[in-house]
Amino acid sequence: MRRALVGAVVLGLAAAGCEQDETQPNFEYAPDMVSSVPYDSFAPNPNTPDGKTLLGPAKGTVPRGHLPLHLAAGPEEAARAGRELKNPYPSSPEVLARGETAFQRYCSPCHGAGGLGDGLVTARFPMPPSLLGARAKALPDGQVFHIITHGQGLMPAHGSQVAPEDRWKVVHYLRTLQDPARTARKDVP
């Protein structure tokens, strides 16, 4: 008798379950798992100093692999770069190959494939100077790096397009354009 009663109750409950209005959300057993209790990453947060949940990096931190360049644009800063910066990459066939790729990609449209200042744009753009001239040859490596980074006069800045290590490799490649004997010499730093 008791069994029959329990069976009837279970059946009744099951039937009631089927009658549920499907347009309404189900009963939530553990609402904490649905709506998170902690602050969301981008939500405002009254407990942090800057009112944001996602804290920014501490002041002065530098991302790995990124060297900050404390040089502004302009000729004085370019000259300072020439005095203070040294090419951190020793020349090697791989470095020169990469420098050549970057040079042909980013510099040759104006300066020409051989650096003579006869790139394709010269039909419409004022002729860039030859990079094989006495002035460009005498520019220290750091100054060329600065010119690529920040531009000079009519030349636009290329810092956002050419990665820092590629800029140094372009400098190595440029030296071989200026003095082809350098490619063959092993004593060149």
Give residue for tokens 């969301």.
40
CB of 137 to ligand HEC, least distance (A): 9
Nearest residue to the partner ligand HEC, using Cβ:
153
Backbone angles phi, psi at 68, to 5 degrees: -65, 140
The smaller minimum CB distance to ligand HEC, of residues 45 and 121, is found at 121
The smaller minimum CB distance to ligand HEC, of residues 45 and 183, is found at 183
CB of 108 to ligand HEC, least distance (A): 8
CB of 138 to ligand HEC, least distance (A): 9
The smaller minimum CB distance to ligand HEC, of residues 26 and 160, is found at 160
CB of 152 to ligand HEC, least distance (A): 5
Q: Please, are residues 91 and 172 in contact by the beta-carbon 8 Å criterion? A: yes
What tokens were used for 164? Answer: 């820092």
CB under 8 Å to 65, separation ≥6 — which residues? none
Measured between alpha carbons, how far is 103 from 105 in angstroms, rounded to an integer? 5
Contacts to ligand HEC by CB under 6 A: 106-107, 109-111, 121, 128-129, 131, 135-136, 139, 144, 147-148, 152-156, 158, 162, 170, 174
Measured between alpha carbons, how far is 167 from 100 in angstroms, rounded to an integer? 11
